[in-house]
Amino acid sequence: MDTANRLYSSASRLCRRLRVARTVGGLSMAKLAVLGILLREGITTATALAGYLGIQPQSLTRLLAGSEGEGLIKCRQDPADKRRSLIEITSAGSQLLADEARERESRLAATMTRVLTPTEQELVRLAAGLIDRIAGAIEPFRAGPTKTEAE
């Protein structure tokens, strides 16, 4: 448990520090989250997008309008259900997301080079692979046994 706690704490701190150190005038964290989901999931609805973010669809209204106004996303009417909109990332949105990621990775790489020895950098590279394996093996939380398991 101590190792799991330390890993979680360290990973969280690293992510927070990278967020805080972002370029002034860059995308908001909310816009980054929306663009990241759209890039990963593809075309989706506001309801599905809100579900990924853990918020109410109404909370997305201004964020989506602003992102569309900046040309980062495109909203269009769902041909199958005229009441719904389909949302997709634009090439400009994809490029901006890639630029943000490149900036974050460059900052992290420069810091690693500055504070770690080559041997420590190699250990971090190996640990990153292990962390990816752990992340891929984590199963979604289930509140209780399924009907099959209870029988």
> What are the tens digits of pLDDT across the range 47-57?
999 999 988 88
Mean pLDDT for the chain? 89
Q: Please, what sign has the CA dihedral across residues 25, 39, 108, 1? A: positive
Alpha carbon distance 37, 135 (integer Å): 18
| The model scores a pTM over 0.75 | no
Phi/psi zone of residue 94: left (φ > 0), alpha (ψ -120 to 50 degrees), beta?
Answer: alpha
CATH annotation of 26-105: 1.10.10.10
- Between vectors from CA 94 to CA 100 and to CA 130, what angle results, nearest 5°? 60
